[in-house]
Structure 1
Amino acid sequence: MPGGALAPVFVTGNPLGDADLIAPATALYGDALTRRQANSLGETLNGLPGVSTTTYGPMVGRPIIRGMDGDRIRLLQNGVAAWDASSLSYDHAVPQESLSIERVEIIRGPAALLYGGNAIGGVVNTIDNRIPREPIKGVTGAVDASYGGANNARAGAAQVEGGNGQFAFHVDAFDRETNKERIPGFAHSDRQRAFDGPDADEAYGSLPNSDGRWHGGAVGTSYTWADGYAGLSYNGYEANYGSVAEDDVRLRMHQDHVAFASEVRNLQGPFSELKFDFGYTDYEHKEIDNGEASTTFRNHGYEARVEARHKKIGPLEGAIGVQISQNTFSALGDEALVPTTQTTNVALFGLEEWAVTDALKLSAGARYEHVKQEPTVVGNEKFVGSPDRDFNAVNLSLGALYKLSPAWAVAGNVAYSERAPALYELYANGPHDATGQYLIGNPDAQKEKAISTDLSLRFASGPNKGSVGIFYSRYKNYLTEFNTGRLVDDDDRVVAPGTNDALNEAVYRGVRAEFYGVEMDGKWRVFQQGAHQVDVELVGDYTHARNIDTGEPLPRISPLRATVALDYGYGPFGARAEMVHAWAQHRVPENDLSSDGYTKLGLILTYKFHVGTTNWLAYVRGDNLTNQDIRYASSVVRDIAPEGGRSVMVGLRTTF
C-alpha cells in the first residue's frame, strides 16, 4: 500500500522520537519498498545491510540478521507480537503480506534489547495504518495489482481510509496466487544429485509443489485529537502452500489478530507522553499429507506494551515501560515435536539519553524480564517429566553518537544480553521432517548470554548518505543443534543407513560462539542537470560465525555479498539497474554441503502519471535476468530448491 506517508523518524527502539538513532538501523518505505516487494517478508528484506533470509521455496522466508535467526530475531507488527510458528521451523511462513505494509524498520544488534532477550540479534517491525494515528478528512485509498515473476504471481491489494478529522476508519484486502516456480535447471544441486545416484528421478525446469495462495484483509478505526489517538483493528490471514521438500505435503494456515493502540501527548505531571499497544493473536496451521491432516500447530496469546516518556530530569531525557505477554503453543499429531507449552513474559525496561553537547549524545538502556515455561504433558508419554522452567534475564546497553561535523558522525553500542531458551530448545522430542532431523531438547538448558558491540561511521549531506560499520558478539551459552551421528526413525529408534525416511538425530547444546562482521551502505548523487539525475548505490556485508570450542563454522551463514545499483530519474520516468554478487560459502559445518557464488542482475522501469485527481505508478521489473542458478547459503533446502530463474513482473498502483 502507499508508503511514504509516515515521517522518516524511527518508532522502533526509539521511544524518544529522536531522528538521530544511535542503533544501526534501516527503514524501508515508499518507492524503495515497492521495488523490493516479494512473496515473503524475508525475501523482501534480503540484501539490506546485515539481512539475509531463510527460504523454503518462494512462499516462505524469515529474516536473518547478522547470521542469527529463529527465536533470536523479534518480528513485530506495529510494535507488538503477532504469534505464529515461523521461528520453530523453516517451512513455516510468516503470515504477512508485503502489499499491506507501509513501512519496515530493522534494528540490528545490541540496541534492540528493549524488546527482550529474543531480540538478541535484532528486531523487524512492520508498520501499517490499520489503526489511523493521524486525523483523516475525506476519503483516500489505493489499489495495487501485479502479475509475473518466476512463479507467475497474480497479486492485488486495495485500501480505503476516511474520516471527519476526528473519527477515522481503515479497510484493506489482499490476494496473491502463484504457480510452481520456474528454475534455471535441476531442482537438486550438482552435489546433491551425486548423492541421489544415477537412477533418481530429478525435477528440471520447475520446482515441484512450490505453488500457493494467500489472502486476507483488515478493518480498523480510531478517534484522534490534537494530543493523541486511540483505536482498534482486526486483520485476518489465510494461506495454502506446498512444501518443496515433500511433494505430497501442503500447509494450510490461518491467523486472526486484534490490536488496540493509543498515544497521549502533552500530559501534565512527571510524564509528558504515554503510549499503549496491545495485540491478541489466534494462529493455526495444518500440515496436510496426502490429503489428510498429519500435524496441527496452534499458537494463541497476547502481548501488551506501555511506554511512558518522562519530562526532562536534569540533562536526561528518557522513557520507561512495561511489557507483558502470554502465549500457548501446541503441536498435535504425527509431528508432535514439542508438548503444549504456555510461555509467560513480564518485563520492565527503560532508556535514557543525555545530550552532553551539540555534538555528543549518550544513551543507556536496561531491561529486566521474567520468563516462565509451563509444559503440559498429558496425553503424550514422550514428554512426561518435562519440567516447568523459570528464567530471570537482564539486558543492559550503552551507546554514543558523536558528530564530527555537520555531515559526519560516529556511533557505537555495547551491550550485555541474556535470552531464555525457547520452548523447542527445552522440550523438543520428535521428528522434524522439514529439516530431516529428530530433534531432542535440553530441559536443563541455561540462559544464553552475550556481550555485543558495534561501531559505525556515518555520512549524510543532501541526497548523499552512507555508513560503514563493524560488529562483534561473543556468546557464553549459544544454543544450537548437534547431530549425534545416529540415524533414527520417527520413534527415535536407530535404523541402518539407506533406510527410507531415516532422520538425523540432533540434540540442543550450549556452546561458546562468536559472530563478527562488517556492513556498509551508501548512496551518492553522481549527476544532476535539469530534471535528469543519477544516483549510485552500494551495499555490502559479511558475517563470520564459529563455535569457539571446536572452531567449526556455524550453519547457514550468508557469505560476503555486494550490491551495486544505478538509479536514473527524469521527471515521471525512473529506472534502476542492480547487480548482486554473493561469493561462494565454503565455511560450513562437517557433513554440510557448501554453496556456490552467484551474480544476479535486475532492472526496474517506472512511470508516474496523473488521471484527474488520481496518482498512478506503472512499473516493469526484471529479476535474475542472466538466469543464474541461485542457492542461498542461509537456506536449509538450498540443495533441493533453488531460487527462481529469469522473470518479468508488471505492476500498476493508483492512489486517490
Structure 2
Amino acid sequence: MKKQFPSLAAQSAVPGFSTSAPGFTPCALACACLLAGPALAAEDETVLRETVVTAVHDSSPAQVVADPRQPRQPVPASDAADYLKSIPGFSAIRSGGSNSDPVFRGQFGSRLPLLTDGSLLLGACPSRMDSPSSYISPQSFDELTVVKGPQTVIWGPGASAGVVRFSHERPDFSESGLHFDASLLGGSAGRNDQSANLQVGNAGYYLRLSANHSHGQDYRDGAGRSVPSGWDKWNTDLALGLTPDADTLIELTAGAGDGWARYGGRGMDGAKFRRDSWGLRLERKNLSPWLAKIEAQIYSNRVDHVMDNYSLREFKPGGGMNMPMASNVWRNTSGARLAATMNLAAQAQLVAGLDALYSPHEKRMGSPMGQSYLDKPWQRDAKSSNLGLFGELSWQTAERTRWVGGLRLDQPRAWRYPEPAMGGGMGGMHGAGMGPMVAEADNQRSRKALPSGFVRWEQQLAQPGASAYAGLGHVQRFPDYWELISPGNSAADKGNAFAWLQPEKTTQIDLGLNWKSQDWQLWTSAYAGWIRDYILFDYQGGSRVRNVNARTAGLELGGHYRLSPAWTTQATLAYGWGRNTSDGRALPQMPPLEARLGLEYESGPWAAGGLWRMVASQKRHAAGQGNVVGRDLGASAGFGLLSVHASYRVNQRFKLAAGVDNLFDKTYAEHLNLAGNAGFGFPAGQRINEPGRTLWLRADIKY
C-alpha cells in the first residue's frame, strides 16, 4: 500500500509544519472570523451576477483583463498557473495537484514575469519546485492583466513572452463603509478551500485583509489509480492605505504564507513554502497640467523552501539519494520602482522611470539520519541584481489612431559563490576550504546595457466596436538563476554555462483584430518571433544548457455569441509552433493545438453551462530537451473532456455553484508534464495523469 501524506495531526511532526504554530491555524481563524460577520448582515444593493468562467477573452489591444475572483471551470488548484490556463495561449508544466509552472505560447520562466501589485517574487528551488505562481492565490486580487508579447517596457526586464500582473484596485470609500466577499469550496479528493477578503475604511484611510486556505488529498485518475498530489496552503495579507485626498495614496502592505505539496513527478516533495512579504507604495495624481502622476514603490518578498524525500512519502533509495535528505533554500527578492506619467501634449502621454532589483540566494542541506539541515549554517551560492531605465509613449495621432512605443535599458549582474571542496560540506561557510582558486571575475557576470523596445499601431476601424493592432518588439533577456547556476555551479569549471551563456534576444511581430457588437464578439491575435541565443536545456547524458537559434509562431482566436436572452455560446482556439533552427528540429515544450467550446444559460437566479475542451495530439517534440523544469517525453495523445456546472443565486448576496469536471472520467495526461518518479512505482518516462471525474460545490458571499 502506498503511503498517503500526513493527516493534520501528523503534520506537526513534519519540519516547518504545526497546527498550533503560525500557519494553518491563523489563516483558518481569519477566514472563519471574516465569514462569520458580514454573512449575517442585512441585504444591500450588491448583486452576484458573475457566472462560472470557462474561457477568458481579449479585452483590449494586446492584453487581457480578467477578474480572478470569479469561479471558473475546471475548478482551479491553489496556484496562479491553473487560473491562467483559462486564457487561450496559456498552459502549464504539470507535476500533480498544485504548484504548476505557467507557460505562454511555449515560453516559460523569466520570459514571463509574474507580478503582484507591481512587485516581483522569485522562487528558490534550483528546479523550480516552488515556482513563483505557487505563492500567488488569484482569488486574493481584484484584477488580472496579461500583456501579450514584448509590448510593454514598464514592468521589468526580460519580458519576451509577456507580462502577468495580479493587482488590487484602490477601494472607493468616499463614504465610510465595508466591502466583503468570501467563498467556500469542497470537492472530490478531500478538496476544501476557504477564501475571504475584507475592506473597511472612510475618505481618509482603508484597511484590507485577505486570507485563504486550500487543501487537497491525492487524487485518482480516470482509471482509478491514485496519483501522489496532495497539498495544503495558506496565505494572509494585510494592507493599510492612507488617502488624505482623492489624488493621494500611501499604502503599506505585509503578508505571509506557507504550505506543503506532494509530487508524483519529482524525487522530493515540498515540505515547506514559507513566504514573507512587505511593501510600501506612494501615488500622487494631478500635480500639474503636465505631470499627471508620480508613483514610488519599495518591496521585499522572502521565500524559505524545504524539499525532502521522507516526510511526505515513504523513503526509498534511488535517484542518487541513498538516505533520507532535506534541502533548505532561501531567497529574498527586494525591489524599488519610481515612475512619472507626463502629459507632453493634448494627445501624448509619457510614462518614464527606473526600477531596481536585488536577489541573494542561499542554501543548506542535511539528513535526519545525521546532522539536520536546521543545524547547518546557510551557504550563499548566488546573487543577482538589475537596474533598469524605461520610457513608454502613447500618442493619439488621429481620432481613431494611436501609436504606443517604448524603450528600456537594463544593467544586469550575477554572482556565484564556490562550494567548499572539503571540510564544509553543503552547509560550510562561504568559501571555506575551497579547491582550486578561481579569479573573482570568473564568478561575476554583467552587461552594461541590454536594450529592449517596441512600437505598436492601434486603429479603431470604421465599423463600430472593431479595432486592429500591429506591434514589433525586441527584448534582450539576461540568463536567470536557473539558467546560470542550476545546470552546473562548479566555480572551478570555466567552461560551464555561467562563463559563456549569452543573453537571449527575441524579436517578435504581434498582430490582432477585435470585432464587437451587442450580441457577439470575435477576436484574434497572432505572432511570429525570431530568437537568437535561445537558452535550451539538454538532458541526454546529464543536464546542460546552451544557446541555439529559434523561430516561433502561433495564434489565439475566440469569440462568443448570444443566441437568445438566456443562451450564449463561446469558442476559443490556441496554437503555438516552434523550431530550433540550429539543430534543425522542433523546439521543445510547445503545447499542442487546443480548442474550447462552451455553452452558457442564465435566467433569473439560475445559471448553467458546459465546457468541451479538445486537445490535439502533439507529434512535434524534441525528446530529451526542454527547460529547467520539464523536458519532452516524446509524442503525446490527444483527448477531449466535457465538464458541466450550474449555479443558483439565493439572494442578492449569496450564491451557490456546483460542477463536475471530466464528466466521463477520462484517463489522460497533458503534453507538458513531468516523468513519474520511480519512488512511487511509476515506470521511467511515464507522464503524470490528470484527475478523473471531479465533483465540486462552491458558495460565494458578497457584501
Normalization by structure 2: what TM-score? Answer: 0.78
The SS at the match of 1:31 is coil
Q: Which residue of 1 aligns with 2:482?
A: 424
Please state if 1:628 is matched with 2:666. Answer: yes
Letter in 1 for 2:138: S
Return the offset for 1:99: 2.9
Choose which of 579, 583, 590 in structure 2 pairs with 1:550.
583
Q: How does 1:494-643 map to 2 (within 5 A)?
A: 505-528=542-565, 533-590=566-623, 592-610=633-651, 615-637=653-675, 639-643=686-690
Q: Which residue of 2 aligns with 1:371?
A: 412
Contact 1:363 1:400 in 2 (8 A): yes
Name the Cα RMSD after superposition. Answer: 2.8
Contact 2:382 2:485 in 1 (8 A): no
For residues 76-102 of structure 1, give each alpha carbon's deviation from its aligned partner in whole angstroms, at most 9, with x where no partner exists. Answer: 101221232378425646212233233
Contact 1:175 1:214 in 2 (8 A): yes
Output the CA distance in 2 between the equivalents of 1:111 and 1:383.
Answer: 46
The SS at the match of 2:95 is coil
Choose which of 295, 307, 317 in structure 2 pairs with 1:287.
307
Decide whether aligned partners of structure 1 residues 29 and 301 sit closer, same or farther in structure 2, where only a CA change above 3 A counts.
closer
Output the CA distance in 2 between the equivalents of 1:382 and 1:287.
Answer: 28
Return the offset for 1:468: 1.1
Return the offset for 1:270: 4.1
Q: Which residue of 2 aligns with 1:193?
A: none
Output the CA distance in 1 between the equivalents of 2:606 and 2:435.
Answer: 63
Please state if 1:411 is matched with 2:411. Answer: no
Say which is worse superposed, 454-463 or 132-141, in terms of deviation. 132-141
Contact 1:366 1:396 in 2 (8 A): yes
For residues 147-176 of structure 1, give each alpha carbon's deviation from its aligned partner in whole angstroms, at most 9, with x where no partner exists. Answer: 004x32111122222112211111222111
Q: Which residue of 1 aligns with 2:284?
A: 264
Q: Which residue of 1 aligns with 2:334?
A: 302
For residues 90-132 of structure 1, give each alpha carbon's deviation from its aligned partner in whole angstroms, at most 9, with x where no partner exists. Answer: 5646212233233221111111443334311111111236x75
- Equivalent pairs counted in the alignment come to 587
Gaps of 5+ in 2: 1-30, 36-45, 48-57, 312-323, 368-372, 374-378, 422-433, 490-494, 625-632, 677-685
For residues 491-548 of structure 1, give each alpha carbon's deviation from its aligned partner in whole angstroms, at most 9, with x where no partner exists. Answer: xxxxxxxxxxxxxx121110001110111121221212xxxx2111111110001101
Contact 2:381 2:418 in 1 (8 A): yes
Q: Which residue of 1 aligns with 2:453?
A: 396
Return the offset for 1:394: 0.5
Output the CA distance in 2 between the equivalents of 1:100 and 1:265.
Answer: 26
The SS at the match of 1:114 is coil
Q: Which residue of 2 aligns with 1:499?
A: none
Output the CA distance in 2 between the equivalents of 1:269 and 1:527.
Answer: 48
Letter in 2 for 1:593: G
Gaps of 5+ in 1: 6-18, 186-203, 432-438, 487-504
Return the offset for 1:383: 10
Contact 1:354 1:362 in 2 (8 A): yes
The SS at the match of 2:583 is coil
Output the CA distance in 2 between the equivalents of 1:306 and 1:21.
Answer: 26
Output the CA distance in 2 between the equivalents of 1:644 and 1:440.
Answer: 40
Output the CA distance in 2 between the equivalents of 1:430 and 1:382.
Answer: 16
Q: Which one has more relative contact order, counting CA pairs under 8 Å at least 6 apart?
A: 2
Letter in 1 for 2:117: N
Return the offset for 1:30: 5.1
Return the offset for 1:144: 1.2
Please state if 1:275 is matched with 2:291. Answer: no
Letter in 1 for 2:568: D
Output the CA distance in 1 between the equivalents of 2:437 and 2:99.
Answer: 33
Decide whether aligned partners of structure 1 residues 607 and 637 sit closer, same or farther in structure 2, where only a CA change above 3 A counts.
farther
Return the offset for 1:313: 3.1
Contact 1:383 1:429 in 2 (8 A): no
Q: Which residue of 1 aligns with 2:21?
A: none
Q: How does 1:82-231 map to 2 (within 5 A)?
A: 82-85=121-124, 88-90=127-129, 92=131, 94-128=134-168, 132=171, 135=174, 137-149=176-188, 151-185=189-223, 205-208=225-228, 210-224=229-243, 225-231=245-251
For residues 345-387 of structure 1, give each alpha carbon's deviation from its aligned partner in whole angstroms, at most 9, with x where no partner exists. Answer: 1111111111111111111111111001122225355897452
Return the offset for 1:573: 1.2
Q: Which residue of 2 aligns with 1:646?
A: 693
Return the offset for 1:276: 2.3
Output the CA distance in 2 between the equivalents of 1:135 and 1:270.
Answer: 27
Return the offset for 1:20: 8.5
Return the offset for 1:25: 3.0
Contact 1:517 1:543 in 2 (8 A): yes
For residues 126-147 of structure 1, give each alpha carbon's deviation from its aligned partner in whole angstroms, at most 9, with x where no partner exists. Answer: 1236x75765622232221110
Counting strand residues as a fraction of each chain, which structure ranks higher?
A: 1
Letter in 2 for 1:41: A
Output the CA distance in 2 between the equivalents of 1:626 and 1:512.
Answer: 43
Return the offset for 1:341: 1.5
Letter in 2 for 1:163: G
Q: Which residue of 2 aligns with 1:436?
A: none
Return the offset for 1:228: 2.6
Contact 2:173 2:201 in 1 (8 A): no
Say which is worse superposed, 25-34 or 509-518, in terms of deviation. 25-34
Output the CA distance in 1 between the equivalents of 2:599 and 2:467.
Answer: 26
Output the CA distance in 1 between the equivalents of 2:614 and 2:531.
Answer: 30
Output the CA distance in 1 between the equivalents of 2:259 and 2:250.
Answer: 31
Contact 1:527 1:535 in 2 (8 A): yes
Decide whether aligned partners of structure 1 residues 112 and 339 sit closer, same or farther in structure 2, where only a CA change above 3 A counts.
farther
Decide whether aligned partners of structure 1 residues 596 and 34 sit closer, same or farther in structure 2, where only a CA change above 3 A counts.
closer
Q: Which residue of 2 aligns with 1:42?
A: 81
Contact 1:35 1:604 in 2 (8 A): no
Output the CA distance in 1 between the equivalents of 2:185 and 2:435.
Answer: 48
Return the offset for 1:36: 5.5
The SS at the match of 1:165 is coil
Return the offset for 1:246: 4.7
Contact 1:521 1:537 in 2 (8 A): yes
Return the offset for 1:428: 2.9
Q: Which residue of 2 aligns with 1:340?
A: 381
Choose which of 74, 78, 92 in structure 1 pairs with 2:117.
78
The SS at the match of 2:690 is coil
The SS at the match of 1:636 is coil
The SS at the match of 2:482 is helix
Decide whether aligned partners of structure 1 residues 249 and 268 sit closer, same or farther in structure 2, where only a CA change above 3 A counts.
closer
Q: Which residue of 2 aligns with 1:458?
A: 514
Output the CA distance in 2 between the equivalents of 1:583 and 1:123.
Answer: 27
Output the CA distance in 1 between the equivalents of 2:109 and 2:172.
Answer: 31
Decide whether aligned partners of structure 1 residues 90 and 517 sit closer, same or farther in structure 2, where only a CA change above 3 A counts.
farther
The SS at the match of 1:115 is coil
Decide whether aligned partners of structure 1 residues 212 and 118 sit closer, same or farther in structure 2, where only a CA change above 3 A counts.
same
Decide whether aligned partners of structure 1 residues 594 and 334 sit closer, same or farther in structure 2, where only a CA change above 3 A counts.
farther
Decide whether aligned partners of structure 1 residues 88 and 279 sit closer, same or farther in structure 2, where only a CA change above 3 A counts.
farther
Return the offset for 1:34: 8.1
Decide whether aligned partners of structure 1 residues 88 and 307 sit closer, same or farther in structure 2, where only a CA change above 3 A counts.
farther
Contact 2:66 2:145 in 1 (8 A): yes
Normalization by structure 1: what TM-score? Answer: 0.84
Contact 1:237 1:256 in 2 (8 A): yes
Decide whether aligned partners of structure 1 residues 326 and 263 sit closer, same or farther in structure 2, where only a CA change above 3 A counts.
same
Q: Which residue of 2 aligns with 1:480?
A: 536
For residues 617-638 of structure 1, give each alpha carbon's deviation from its aligned partner in whole angstroms, at most 9, with x where no partner exists. Answer: 1100210111112211122347
The SS at the match of 1:514 is strand
Percent identity, please. 18
Q: Which residue of 1 aligns with 2:50?
A: none
